[in-house]
Amino acid sequence: MRSFLSRVAAGRTDRRVFCIDLFTCARDVRGDPKVEEFRDVVRRAVAALDRPGLVYLSGRSLLPSATGLTADEVHPSATGMAHIATRLARHMGRRRAQTAEGQAHAVL
């Protein structure tokens, strides 16, 4: 995971790369610990690389409820995708504002 993320982030030093782990799924509802283990691997890999443009986002923060899934309880439904898009845009907008604010302070 770390090697993959490092390669992706290395080619995009001028841009943010948002790393999103698993969205809420049936395994969450069943309490399967494997899904949280995977999320933790992604979270730790992003933290270990410590690159300013590499941003970790929890898939559960983007799709917090299983009601946004299709009947297979794995893939987001159209409504779920709309919720993901709205929340992702909000996160990206906050990061953009933080970058702009940081650049303004650097100029001062």
Could you tell me the residue range of the domain that residue 74 belongs to?
2-107
CA distances to 19, 20, 69, 94 from 97, in Å: 19, 20, 31, 5
Quick check: helix, strand or coil at residue 19? strand
Q: How many domains does the chain have?
A: 1
Phi and psi, residue 69, nearest 5°: -105, 160
d(CA 15, CA 56): 14
* 4-58 per-position pLDDT tens digit: 888 877 866 778 889 999 999 999 999 999 999 999 999 999 999 988 888 999 9
Q: Is 31 left (phi over 0), alpha (psi -120 to 50) or beta?
A: left
Q: What is the CATH number of the domain that holds 63?
A: 3.40.50.1110
How would you class 78 by CB atoms within 10 Å of its CB: exposed for 0-12, middle for 13-18, buried for 19 or more?
exposed
Task: With beta carbons less than 8 A apart as the criterion, state whether 6 and 49 touch.
Answer: yes
Q: In the predicted model, what is the mean pLDDT of residues 74-95?
A: 94
Q: How much is the CA Rg of the chain, to the nearest whole Å?
A: 16
Overall size of the chain counted in residues? 108
Residue 95 pLDDT exceeds 90: no
